[in-house]
Amino acid sequence: MGTKKIILIIDDDPLMLGALSSILSQEYHVKAARDGETGIVLAGKYDIDLILIDVGMKDMSGYEVLAALKENDRTKDIPVIFITGREGSGEEVRALASGAVDCMRKPIVPEIVTLRVGLHMRLITQMRIIERFSLTDGLTGVNNRRCFDQQMEAEWNRSARSGVPLSMLMLDIDYFKKFNDTHGHLNGDIALKTVADVLVDTMKRGTDYVFRWGGEEFVVILPETPISGAAKVAERIRANIEKTPVIIGMEKVHITASVGVASIVPDPATYPKGTEEFCESIDQALYRAKRNGRNRVEVVE
């Protein structure tokens, strides 16, 4: 679908549905639904950027559709514009109060539709840029701790629903304080960037996530991965860090890392305490790896 954004239009009037689709399909990919239930399914199936919903549908009102979208983790943050034929400012007040980002009146004017939708698409792009920066570690370019908290909740709940194991590993650069004392903090930053690059390059699946936990610690979330697979990934990461030098001027300095790894099939009722206990168990495995000589992987049995 290239770089075009995707708009979902939900309207039980085929003429209105066709008119809006014709106006917007010149610039966007358009998905169309003639009832609320179909629209909800499409919203969950595709990566929708913006939804236009007719308020006055017969079987399921626009407000009911929006409420259903807000209850789904995948669709709750998709911006919604209501289309209404009702007069008075009360409809606009109710629309915005219910969580819609805008409200357009019938009869529609193509130029106004194009401009209003274009405005919201620009706002969406700007907000995503801001969010990406807020969720990214400024030094290494990988996800930060705030992003971890969000992603861990999503993966914990997803794994609980599917019953498929969720694995995670935590690693710490060995003797990092000594490295900084010897080579200086600026070169310590280079070492952190090097480890982050190794982690990103080692991950083979787009569904795996790399995070800077803090200081010299990093975390990797491995969805749908049993402990056997997670242990192999952890060992591959450890080996790749060991063989990848940190380039300091003309010098190549090798570093190592200790890794703790665990797997769980979560109970949804245990969030967030369950995730804290899970992370603590991995942290204990990490320190066990350090006590046992460093540059090794320890698995939570």
Q: Which residues are catalytic?
A: 216
8: which residues sit within 8 A by CB, 6+ positions away? 30, 31, 32, 33, 39, 42, 43, 46, 48, 50, 51, 52
Contact 137, 212 (CB under 8 A): yes
Question: Whole-angstrom Cα distance, residue 157 to residue 173?
Answer: 30
Radius of gyration of the chain measured on its C-alpha atoms? 24
* Dihedrals phi, psi of 225, to nearest 5 degrees: -135, 120
- Give the span between the Cα atoms of 209 and 221, in whole angstroms: 5
Q: Which of 212, 232, 289 is nearest to 258 (CA)?
A: 289
Q: Is 295 in a helix, a strand, or coil? A: coil
Kind of pairing between the strands at 246-248 and 251-253:
antiparallel
CA distance 194 to 37: 48
